[in-house]
A and B are shown apart, each in its own frame.
Chain A
Amino acid sequence: MNLQNLSIKRKLMLITMLTSSAALVLSAVSFLIYDLISFRRQLSQDLMTQAEIIGLNSGAAMAFKDETAATATLSALKAKDDIVAAALYSPEGKLFAHYFQANKSLPSSLPSRSQQNFYRFEDGYLHVFQQVTMNGERVGTLHLLSDMRQWNTRAKRYTGILVIVVLICGSLALLLSSRLQKLISKPILHLEDTMRMVSSNKNYEIRASRFYGDEIGRLIDGFNTMLSEIQLRDSALQRANNELQTSTHELEVEIIHRKRTQDELLTAKQAAEQANRAKSAFLANMSHELRTPLNAIIGYSEMLEEEVQDTAKISNVRDLQKIQAAGKHLLVLINDVLDLSKIEAGKMQLHIESFDIAGMIEEMVTTLKPAIAKNANTFQLRIPEDISAMRGDVTKVRQILLNLLSNACKFTDHGSVWLDVDRVSAAGQDWIRFRVGDTGIGISTEQQENLFQEFTQADISISRKYGGTGLGLAISHRFVQLMKGRITVESAPGQGSVFTVHLPVQAAGEQAESMAPMKTASSGVSSEVKPDADTILVIDDDMAVRDLMSRSLTKLGFRVVAAASGEEGLRLAKQLRPLVITLDVIMPDWDGWTVLNKLKADSDLAEIPVIMVTIVDNEAMGRDLGASSYLIKPVDRERLVTLIEKHRAMRSSTVAKAGVPPANWPARNQKTSRKPEVVSPRRH
């Protein structure tokens, strides 16, 4: 049992009992020991006296050697129970007379030769030696032996009394302590009860009652004060808790409300996105569909204009030019919308290849000349000789530059426009930097913030004054981002603008270039054949297209043969071996892809350049199947003519050099010429 975990009650009782018992036992034992010691001394004194008397009485008997008398004297000791043996020894130490009680005896000769009277305790017996004298003369020695019976009896009796007294006192102490301990334990137990009640019921209104004014009383006071404090805080906490619950509930309601709103918003957003996608899809489809009629409008108006110019009916020419301009403008708008919807739909892809920067810019500037001339601006191009080639999507680079330059021309009147191209290193990478500057109206800081956002022009009024969709810069911005480059602008109102485009020299990603070497090789082989140098085969199921192509190309001195189906086209191609084949995609029976496949599969025809002319926007497919260029209807006639002229020049030079072209030139040229042409000059 662990003493320390006893209850206060028991501890108090135990302390009282132990203390009183210890004191009692100690004092009683001390008394007992003292008494027994003094009693023993008294006993020895008594025995000594006894011995002295017997010595005196037996002196004469000893002197007269009267054994009988001596024995008689010793026999008187029978009355003394405690003296168990007595003996008289002659002066020589010989046993003279004796008295032995029961079975106790003494030695026949005197053990001690001492002449003194003395006593000693030995083995629980008291030995007394007394010299027997007669008239001062020693006549013998008396030896008495006592078993100290009285002492033993006394010790036993006293021990018994002591035990009884201790027991009685102990019970008394138990009785008293069990009653008196309540003085201390009762308030403590009460305090404990109260405490337990408080903690189990969580009822802080209970108070412990105070019994006395002692330390425990003060403890109880302190406890009560503490309880009041806790009660106070508890109620405050309860209040706070209630408030918190209320506000939590409100918050929950609010959260539910918001969640609902959020769900609604999400649904709305999804719906909006769905709608937007539908819109984009619709726009993309519509753009394609719109091109077909536009193709006819622009083509015929151009032809008519040329024919009417011959008849010199000036008013008709102007009308036709207006139709033509409106058609072209409409085409630009449709192309922009198409690009943007493709970007938004995430379908815009890059076609990475190496291309000659100088060549690309030269070609582009040619296209841009009318726009420069329109507002009487001067144009300056600065490009280093060693700019060499870069890897990237040439079509998109061209479109970016066309956008920036046509904007520069549009917003500058009687000023100058310039294009700087150079190569810089920044952020551990090589960049080609294009800087397009002008001395035009400039852009304010506020306007610059939204400059690259879709459907945002610097000012609504600009749209009215200068025309355009406001999509050009947004599309350029997206293109630059796609190519991991960046576009910035520096400008101030009235001080002109400078747009800077950084594009990586080596664009990330690898796009098919696999056909190029094969092409080069085959072109060498094909040079041995002598095809008709000026024949162009047009394969298209649309009669309007065939008609337009025939008429416009014939004017330029080409011989044009048209085929209404793929099968016919293939047959004619074998028969005529034309300079260039233009091929539509969407046709009955064999579509354009099939025809292209068959052309490229035939070793005799494989080297003939095929220019895809279609409303299907799938340059990648065309390129993979071996088309050298890709034009989307409505076709920019000038662009088509440029391409055909290039092929004619190449053919003639190849023939002239007898099939030994310079190592690099044809390949690069070939690549450049094979570029799918999607872009036409835009004016914003």
Chain B
Amino acid sequence: MRRSRLIVAVLLSLSLVAGANAQSSASAASSEYLIKAGFIYNFAQLVQWPSAAFSQADSPIVIGILGTDPFGTSIDRVVENKKLDGHNLVVKRLRWSRDLKDLTECNILFVSLSEREHISDVINMVKWLPILTIGETPGFAARGGIINLTLEDNKVRFEVNIGAAKQANLNISSRLLALAKIVPQGAEGKKSE
């Protein structure tokens, strides 16, 4: 996984050298995040929040993006004009330590790669709250995150920590689970350490 990221980095650096190639690499990177944005929307469909999670019946589902935003506008375009069970979808960009209060008011919290240093803090902070945590860092699910997006043969896959989901009082649809790699608490962390 690291290698692939390296490849991406190399590609990125190469793209800086050659302008034409850089554009195609950029589009490849944005296509990955377009897919990830779609996944996030799909997760929202297959996860059931407790009714207490929303102050009102038509309160929006808030998607918080913590750290450097890798999506650009693609995620906004995906959720634009969509409604799930009467809820609109709203995207919020958050910073660690500065937006801590907003962080706990999200319904979906995407932890960007840039925040890998704070993963444990973030998880500890929200693990009892009905917040669907999504990461893209290896070992994120094993360390207590609910869903972790991975790359597998250049295809986006995901891992699910069912215990974490139960702790967050979130009901994940079996259809989602059928597609996910189930990760037990702590296993991945040890493995990835």
Q: Hey, which bits of chain A sit against chain B, CB under 8 A?
A: 57, 59-61, 63-66, 69, 134-135
CB distance from B167 to the nearest CB of A (A): 23
Given contacts A60-B173, A63-B38, A65-B35, 6 further A-B contacts (CB under 8 A): A59-B175, A60-B42, A60-B178, A134-B42, A134-B45, A135-B45
CB distance from A63 to the nearest CB of B (A): 5
Q: Is the CB of A63 within 8 A of B178?
A: no
Q: Within the assembled complex, what's the spacing in Å between the Cα atoms of A69 and B158?
A: 13
Which residues of chain B come closer than 8 Å to A64, judged between CB atoms?
39, 42, 158, 179
Q: Within the assembled complex, what's the spacing in Å between the Cα atoms of A569 and B32?
A: 194
Which residues of chain B come closer than 8 Å to A60, judged between CB atoms?
42, 46, 173, 175-176, 178-179
**SS class, residues of chain A in contact with chain B:** helix
Q: Is the CB of B179 within 8 A of A69?
A: yes
Interface residue B9 (Cβ < 8 Å from any Cβ of A): no
Which residues of chain A come closer than 8 Å to B42, judged between CB atoms?
60, 63-64, 134
Interface residue B7 (Cβ < 8 Å from any Cβ of A): no
Q: Within the assembled complex, what's the spacing in Å between the Cα atoms of A135 and B84?
A: 9
Identify 19 residue pairs between A and B in the complex whose beta-carbon atoms are under 8 Å apart, listed by A's number: A57-B175, A59-B175, A60-B42, A60-B46, A60-B173, A60-B175, A60-B179, A61-B179, A63-B38, A64-B39, A64-B158, A65-B35, A65-B155, A66-B157, A66-B179, A69-B178, A134-B45, A135-B45, A135-B84
Which residues of chain A come closer than 8 Å to B173, judged between CB atoms?
60
Identify the closest chain A residue to B173 (Cβ): A60
Q: Within the assembled complex, what's the spacing in Å between the Cα atoms of A59 and B84?
A: 17
Which residues of chain A come closer than 8 Å to B38, judged between CB atoms?
63
Q: Within the assembled complex, what's the spacing in Å between the Cα atoms of A134 and B155?
A: 21
Which residues of chain A come closer than 8 Å to B178, judged between CB atoms?
60-61, 69
CB distance from A70 to the nearest CB of B (A): 10
Interface size class for chain B?
10 to 19
CB distance from A629 to the nearest CB of B (A): 178
Which residues of chain B come closer than 8 Å to A134, judged between CB atoms?
42, 45
Identify the closest chain B residue to A66 (Cβ): B179
Which residues of chain A come closer than 8 Å to B175, judged between CB atoms?
57, 59-60
Which residues of chain A come closer than 8 Å to B155, judged between CB atoms?
65
CB distance from B176 to the nearest CB of A (A): 6
Residue-by-residue, is B166-179 near A (CB-CB < 8 Å gives 1, otherwise 0)?
00000001011011
Task: In the A-B complex, list the 5 residue pairs whose CB atoms are closest, starting with the nearest.
Answer: A60-B175, A135-B45, A63-B42, A66-B179, A69-B179
Q: Within the assembled complex, what's the spacing in Å between the Cα atoms of A588 and B17?
A: 198
* Central interface residue in A59, A63, A66, A134, by most chain B CB within 10 Å: A63
CB distance from B9 to the nearest CB of A (A): 25
B residues 171-193 with Cβ under 8 Å of A? 173, 175-176, 178-179
Identify the closest chain A residue to B44 (Cβ): A135
Identify the closest chain A residue to B82 (Cβ): A137
* Central interface residue in A57, A65, A134, by most chain B CB within 10 Å: A65
Q: Within the assembled complex, what's the spacing in Å between the Cα atoms of A265 and B120?
A: 176
Q: Within the assembled complex, what's the spacing in Å between the Cα atoms of A66 and B35?
A: 12
Which residues of chain B come closer than 8 Å to A65, judged between CB atoms?
35, 155-156
Which residues of chain B come closer than 8 Å to A135, judged between CB atoms?
45, 84
Identify the closest chain A residue to B42 (Cβ): A63
Identify the closest chain A residue to B180 (Cβ): A64
* Central interface residue in A64, A66, A69, by most chain B CB within 10 Å: A64
Residue-by-residue, is B36-51 near A (CB-CB < 8 Å gives 1, otherwise 0)?
0011001001100000
Identify the closest chain B residue to A64 (Cβ): B179
CB distance from B192 to the nearest CB of A (A): 23
Q: Within the assembled complex, what's the spacing in Å between the Cα atoms of A135 and B156?
A: 21
Which residues of chain A come closer than 8 Å to B176, judged between CB atoms?
60
Q: Within the assembled complex, what's the spacing in Å between the Cα atoms of A65 and B178?
A: 13
Q: Within the assembled complex, what's the spacing in Å between the Cα atoms of A65 and B42?
A: 11
Identify the closest chain A residue to B85 (Cβ): A135
Q: Within the assembled complex, what's the spacing in Å between the Cα atoms of A135 and B175?
A: 12
Identify the closest chain A residue to B175 (Cβ): A60
Identify the closest chain A residue to B39 (Cβ): A64
Q: Within the assembled complex, what's the spacing in Å between the Cα atoms of A126 and B45?
A: 34
CB distance from A626 to the nearest CB of B (A): 174
CB distance from B155 to the nearest CB of A (A): 8
Which residues of chain B come closer than 8 Å to A61, judged between CB atoms?
178-179
Q: Within the assembled complex, what's the spacing in Å between the Cα atoms of A69 and B155?
A: 13
Q: Within the assembled complex, what's the spacing in Å between the Cα atoms of A556 and B45?
A: 200
* Central interface residue in A60, A65, A134, A135, by most chain B CB within 10 Å: A60
Q: Within the assembled complex, what's the spacing in Å between the Cα atoms of A57 and B173?
A: 12
B residues 1-56 with Cβ under 8 Å of A? 35, 38-39, 42, 45-46
Q: Within the assembled complex, what's the spacing in Å between the Cα atoms of A184 and B178?
A: 80
Residue-by-residue, is B93-124 near A (CB-CB < 8 Å gives 1, otherwise 0)?
00000000000000000000000000000000
Q: Within the assembled complex, what's the spacing in Å between the Cα atoms of A64 and B173?
A: 14
* Central interface residue in B35, B38, B45, B175, by most chain A CB within 10 Å: B175
Residue-by-residue, is B59-98 near A (CB-CB < 8 Å gives 1, otherwise 0)?
0000000000000000000000000100000000000000
Q: Within the assembled complex, what's the spacing in Å between the Cα atoms of A65 and B38?
A: 10
Which residues of chain A come closer than 8 Å to B179, judged between CB atoms?
60-61, 64, 66, 69
Which residues of chain B come closer than 8 Å to A59, judged between CB atoms?
175
CB distance from B92 to the nearest CB of A (A): 23
Identify the closest chain A residue to B155 (Cβ): A65
CB distance from B116 to the nearest CB of A (A): 24
